[in-house]
Structure 1
Amino acid sequence: MLSAADVSIQEVLRYFTNKGLDVGLVVPTATGMAKGIMDATGSVRDFLKASGVHDFDKQEQGGDHKKLVPTRIATSAGIVSTTTSLYRPVTKKGDPRLWIYGLAQHAEPGNVLVLIAVGNNELLVVNASNAGLVPGVSPRHGERLRIADCTDIDLEAILAPLLAVSRTVADELLALIRGISGQWHRGIAGKRRDTEVGRLLEELLGIRTNSSRLPDYKGIEIKSGRKGGKNRQTLFAKVPDWSISHLKSSAAILDTFGYRRATEKYERQLRCTVSARVPNSQGLYLEFSRDQALLHENSQHPKHPQVVAWRIEDLKQSLATKHPETFWVTAASRKSGDAEEFRYEHVLHTRKPMINALPTLLESGIVTVDHLITKDLDGRVKEQGPLFKIWKRDMDLLFPPGELHTF
C-alpha cells in the first residue's frame, strides 16, 4: 500500500514526471518481503501493460505460465542485475503477483520502488527511499542526507537514454492568443465568476463553449485561470458508471446527501469535495476496490455505505482524451465598474499526461472529486460534474514540463 511509504510519494512522482517518464510504484510490506511476494496493484498492472512489458489479463494461472523479466536495481550503492517474476498463483482468484529476486538485499519494508520500462522486455527498479539517490526526495525521518553514498551512481545519466521529447506544432493557436494579448478585455457585468476568465477567452478566440470530453481547439484543450490564483484545476468531468453504482442518478445522490440553504435559487444542492484522505462533512470519501479496478465513492451514512463507482480505465481514458495537449492560459484581472477585465499574459503548453499516475494521485488524495448538483425551485436537477480536480501546485505530478510562452 502506498500509504505505508517511508518517503513522500509526491516528491518521487514529481521527479519522474518532470522527466516525462511513466512509472509504476511498489511499496513492499514486511510480510511480503519475508515471503518473497508482492501484489501487482492495479496501477502497476496498467503500467506493465501500457509499456508492453506484460499483460496480466492474458496470463494463465500457475507456475508454468510465469514470466521472467530481466531487471536492474538502482540503489545508492550502485546497480545490480537480477530478474523479476510476474505470475498469477493457482490459489484464490489468481491475483497478480510480482517479485524481484534478491530484493531483500537492496530494500526494506516501506521503501518506495520505482518501476521503469526499458524497451518492452526489461525493467529498471529505482529505490527512491535511498537517501540522496533521487533528487528532490527528502530522506526518511531521522535519516541524514548521505550524498557521499551516491558517488558511484548517477541517476540522471542512467535515465538519459530513456528520455524522449515529442514536438507538436501549436503555432496557430499561439498566434490567436498573441493577437488578443497586451490589452484588457471586459467580461460580463455582474457578480465575479470563476469561469468568466475562460468563457471570455473562448469568445475572443471564436471557440464555442465546450462541455464535451474532447479538447477545445483542434486537439488542444484550453484551461484558463487568473494570475496568482490558488484554486484547484479541473482536469476532466466524468459521471459515475451507473451500471455498477448503488445510487443510479445524480438526483438520487442529491436526495440522499444534499442540503437546503436559505436561497431563492435552489430547493436543494450538494457542493462538496470528496477525497481518499478523509470523509468530508457529508461523510463521503473515495476508496479503491481491492483489485484497484474501480474507484468507489463510499459514505459513513448507515443506510448508504456505497454511493457510486467509476472504472479506473474509464477515468484514465477521460484524462488522456481531454489532455493530449493543453494550453494553460494565465490572465491578469482587474475590476472595472460592475465588471471584471482580463489581460491574457502567459501560456504553458503541456503534452501527454502521465495517465498511469492518476490512480496513485487519487489514492493519495492529490486528485479529488467535486460534486456540483443542484435542484431548482421547479424540481429540475443539474449536475455540473463530477469534476476531477488537482491543486495547481501539484500539476507537475501529472504533466511533464511544458513550454512557457509570455506575451
Structure 2
Amino acid sequence: MIFTPYSDEINVINMIHRFQNEDYALIRMTYTMIEKNNIDANGILRDLLLSYQLVDYNQLDNGGKFGISYDALFIQNGKTDIIKLKFYKVSNTRGDRRFSIETIKRKMKNGEINEGDLLYISIFKQENGTPLIYVINLTHNIPTENDLFNTIGMDAITELFFQIKPRLYEIVHGGFFDNSKGYGPIAPKDVGDTLESLLGIDTNNRMNADYNGLIEIKSKGGKRTLDTLFTLRPRFEGTRVAEYEPSDRNRVSAFARIYGYDSEAHPGYNSLYITIGSLEAPQNNQGFYLTVNEEERRVNIIWCSSITGKKEVAAYWSFDDLKHQLYMKHPSTLWIKAESRVVGSMVQFKYNEIEFSRIPQFTTFLSLIKAGVITYDWRGYTTKEGRYAGKNHGNAWRIKPYAKSDLFGVIEAVEL
C-alpha cells in the first residue's frame, strides 16, 4: 500500500531531506495496527531494509520467533528515544510480512503515536559505517531542525551544499563575470564553464556529478531552452549499424554515415543534427522516434523508412545503463539561470536564480520519454565512406524545463 502524505506532512519530509535524503517508507497508522502491534511491512520498507542488508524477508522462516530485531531512533520534538523494531513473517501459509514497535500502546497512551498518524521510516549510516534505522511521526510531536541535526546529522550532499553556499552568494551578488575562456564569440557551454571556474571546479567532461561527485551544476542563459540531463551513447548490438561497423568505438560515426543527410556546412560529409522524441512527438524529419520497451527493459531508437515504411531498431539503451547514468550524474543538482552581455569583445555572465534538487525518479524518467518531454539529441557529422572523419558534439538526453519538478520531485529555490 502506498501512503500519501498531506501537505503539512510533505513539508516535514522536505525538512528532513535538508539533512538526510535517503530512501524512506511511510506507514499510516490504524487502530488495528496499534492495538495488535502487527504492522504491514510494505514493499518499499522491505526494499529499504534489504538495500542496507538489514532484513531479507525472503530468507525469514514463518513465525515471530524467527524474526530479526533492531534498535531504532524515534525522533520527536525535543527528545529522541531508543525503540526496538522487530521484523518477521506471520505463521500462516502466506507468510505475511510484518513488523512491530515495542511499547506502541504506551506511546499511543502518551500521545506519541496516534491513529491516523503518518510514520516516516528511513536509515542513515553512522560515522563508523553502521546503518541505523530512525522513525519520525510526521503528524504529531514533529522534531525541529535542531533535533534532526543533533540526532541524524547531515548527509554528504547536504554538508557540501552548505559549504558552497557562501561562494554561491558571492557569485549571485557579484554582478557580471568575464567569460572564463577569454575574448571571442559566445558558445553554448561558456555560461556553465564560467560558473564552474568561479566555483573552482575543473571543467573537463565528467561522467559523474561536477562537484565532488555529489552535486551537478547546470547553468544556462535561455529560459526556454531544454535542460541537459546527461550524455550516454546507445548500444548497437544486433542493429544494422553493428552489421556495417564491426568496431564498437566507431559505431556512433557509422550511425551518422548510415542515417545522416548531405551536410550543407561540410560538403562531402553526412550530418545528423536531430532531436528524437516519442512516436507521438518525434521532433525530427528523418524518421526517428523513441520507444520504451518494458518487457525487454530497453529504450529503443526506432527508424522508419520514408520510402518503404519499414521500421527497425537503430540503437538502444538498457534500463540499467540509463538508470546508472541518471543517478550518477544527478545525486543532487544546482540549476542556475544566467544572463549575458558583451562589453567590447568580452562576453560576460550574471548568475541569478538558483534552484536545488535531489535524486530523480527513474520510473518518471521513462514516463517522460513516453510523453515526449524527455528527448535525445544527436549532434555530429562524418565522412560518407572510408576512414571516419568529422565531429560528434556530445549526444545528450534533455528535458523541458517545466518538467524538472516531475522528474526530481521537490525543487527548492535557494535563498541567498
Q: Considering the TM-score relative to the shorter chain, is it more than 0.5?
A: yes
Match of 1:211 among 201, 205, 212: 205
In 1, distance between residues paired with 2:273 and 2:353?
A: 31
Structure 1, residues 88-108: CA drift from partner, whole Å, max 9, x if none? Answer: xxxxxxxxxxxxxxxxxxxxx
The Cα of 1:66 is off from its aligned counterpart by 8.9
Counterpart residue number, 1:318? 325
In 1, distance between residues paired with 2:392 and 2:46?
A: 34
Q: CA RMSD in A?
A: 4.0
User: How do 1:4-403 residues align onto structure 2 when only pairs under 5 Å count?
Assistant: 168-169=158-159, 170-181=161-172, 182-187=174-179, 188-218=182-212, 219-226=214-221, 229-243=223-237, 245-248=239-242, 249-264=251-266, 267-276=269-278, 277-279=280-282, 280-289=284-293, 291=295, 293-301=297-305, 302=308, 305-375=312-382, 379-403=388-412
Equivalent residues of 1:372, 1:383 under 8 A apart: yes
User: Structure 1 pair 311/67, CA: closer, same or farther in 2 (3 Å)?
Assistant: farther
SS at match of 1:250: helix
Q: Rg bigger for which structure? A: 2
Letter in 2 for 1:383: N
Equivalent residues of 1:295, 1:311 under 8 A apart: yes
Aligned residues between the structures: 277
Q: What is the percentage of aligned positions where both structures have the same residue? A: 25
Letter in 2 for 1:183: G
SS at match of 1:393: helix
In 1, distance between residues paired with 2:269 and 2:44?
A: 45
In 2, distance between residues paired with 1:207 and 1:293?
A: 36
SS at match of 1:194: coil
The Cα of 1:118 is off from its aligned counterpart by 9.3
In 1, distance between residues paired with 2:301 and 2:45?
A: 27
User: Structure 1 pair 399/336, CA: closer, same or farther in 2 (3 Å)?
Assistant: same
In 1, distance between residues paired with 2:46 and 2:286?
A: 37
Structure 1, residues 90-142: CA drift from partner, whole Å, max 9, x if none? Answer: xxxxxxxxxxxxxxxxxxxxxxxxxxx9979xxxxxxxxxxxxxxxxxxxxxx
TM-score by length of 1: 0.57
Runs of at least 5 residues in structure 2 that lack an aligned partner in the other structure: 1-9, 25-42, 51-57, 59-92, 99-118, 123-137, 143-147, 243-250
In 1, distance between residues paired with 2:357 and 2:337?
A: 14
The Cα of 1:292 is off from its aligned counterpart by 5.2
The Cα of 1:47 is off from its aligned counterpart by 8.3
User: Structure 1 pair 270/69, CA: closer, same or farther in 2 (3 Å)?
Assistant: farther
Runs of at least 5 residues in structure 1 that lack an aligned partner in the other structure: 1-14, 24-45, 59-64, 71-116, 121-155
- Which stretch shows the higher mean deviation, 257-266 or 180-189? 257-266
- Runs of 4+, deviation exceeding 4 Å: 18-23, 46-53, 65-70, 117-120, 164-167, 376-379
TM-score by length of 2: 0.56
SS at match of 1:305: strand
The Cα of 1:381 is off from its aligned counterpart by 3.9
Structure with greater contact order relative to length (CA < 8 Å, sep ≥ 6): 1
